[in-house]
Structure 1
Amino acid sequence: MNISKGDLVSVEYTIRLDDDRVIETTVGEAPLSYTHGQNEILQGLEAGLEGMRLGAAKVITVKPADAYGEIHPEGFFEVQRDRVPTEAQRIGIKLETTAPDGRVVFPYVAEIRTNVIVLDLNHPLAGRTLRFDVRVVDIQRGERQLVTGGMRGRETEA
């Protein structure tokens, strides 16, 4: 059985960066389950899983454009240092704040300068190539959608 559109797929994975550092894994935990072809996971990962067989394993390399995108310079902004709590003045800390349009946003501390802190609204993995070590642990065929048609109410496949 190979993965195709509409299938409920479960995969075990480990995500590594270019330097081989592991940033996330499901090994020894519950696998990731998703519906193939429904854009529920990263585009590059889904494309790499297409057609894989049950039990198969491989390495899927996902470029930034098919993962969390490139780093956008407009995602960086400066705030006065005294506006950020002292305990949060560490590079990599995720903050919660309200944007000028009223949306709640979650920037990361990217840089600390004398009077300002540079915050980054880009995803922490933006601009990074990701390597997924994946193994397909389950494939369930998507359910056929049935519609009623005709005078006798017979079922036909949609």
Structure 2
Amino acid sequence: MSIKDDMVVQFNYTLRDEAGEVLETNEGLDPIAYLHGHDNMMPGVEKAMEGKAVGEKFSVTLPPEETYGVRNENGEQRVSIKHLQGAKVWKPGMRAIVSTDQGQRQVTVLKVGKFMATVDINHPLAGRELTFDLEVVDAREATAEEIAHGHAHGVGGHHH
């Protein structure tokens, strides 16, 4: 069965940087699940999955436009320290979570004052060419409920 729109796809991945260093992997963990064709996955990864079959292993190197985006050089903002989530004491270089109107966002702390911090709102991997080693673990037709909700349910997907 080839991957196409309205299918729930489960996969394992290893993410590598330009030098081939491993940045992330779900090796030994539950596979990631997403609803194909519903903007639930990075565009480049979803495009690479199109037409693949269960059991296929492959690598794809993607430009920033198809993963975490191009760096916004004006991506600095000042925020109240009380809005930074993830630690009690903040230092430059640390990563924090900030809640926004579009949901939670990962930021990098640049400067810390007594009450305010300057953060870089770019994703830490923005602007980088990345290689994904992918393995399709499972693929099935989505249920009507998953299609209506716009995301996969169950292991590796969304839980209500």
Instruction: Tell me what 1:58 maps to.
Output: 58
For 2:134, the aligned partner's letter is V
Instruction: Tell me what 2:122 maps to.
Output: 122
Q: What SS class does the counterpart of residue 107 from structure 1 fall into?
A: strand
Q: Any conservation in 1 of the 2:13–2:132 contact (CA below 8 Å)?
A: yes
Instruction: Tell me what 1:38 maps to.
Output: 38
Q: Matched residues in 1 for 2:142 and 2:88: separation? A: 51
Instruction: Tell me what 2:158 maps to.
Output: none
Indicate how the Cα distance of structure 1 residues 30 and 95 shifts in structure 2: closer, same or farther if over 3 A, else same: closer
CA drift of 1:63 comes to 1.1
Instruction: Tell me what 1:91 maps to.
Output: 93
Indicate how the Cα distance of structure 1 residues 43 and 97 shifts in structure 2: closer, same or farther if over 3 A, else same: closer
Q: Which has the larger radius of gyration?
A: 1
The alignment's TM-score, normalised by the length of structure 1, stands at 0.71
Q: Matched residues in 2 for 1:29 and 1:106: separation? A: 22
Q: Matched residues in 2 for 1:105 and 1:43: separation? A: 19
Instruction: Tell me what 2:155 maps to.
Output: none
Structure 1's unaligned 5+ residue stretches are: 146-158
Q: Matched residues in 1 for 2:57 and 2:111: separation? A: 39
Cα RMSD, aligned residues only = 3.3
Q: Matched residues in 1 for 2:104 and 2:35: separation? A: 29
Q: Matched residues in 2 for 1:104 and 1:27: separation? A: 25
**Cα-to-partner distance string for 1:30-86 (whole Å, 9 max, x where unaligned):** 00111111110101100001001110010011210011111111212468xxxx999
Instruction: Tell me what 2:138 maps to.
Output: 138
For 1:16, the aligned partner's letter is R
Q: Any conservation in 1 of the 2:62–2:131 contact (CA below 8 Å)?
A: yes
Q: What fraction of aligned residue pairs are identical, expressed as a percent?
A: 31
Instruction: Tell me what 1:153 maps to.
Output: none
Q: What SS class does the counterpart of residue 19 from structure 1 fall into?
A: coil
CA drift of 1:132 comes to 0.7
Residues paired across the two proteins, number: 137
User: Deviating runs (4+, > 4 A) in structure 1?
Assistant: 95-98, 103-106
Q: Any conservation in 1 of the 2:77–2:120 contact (CA below 8 Å)?
A: yes
Q: Any conservation in 2 of the 1:95–1:109 contact (CA below 8 Å)?
A: no
Q: What SS class does the counterpart of residue 11 from structure 2 fall into?
A: strand
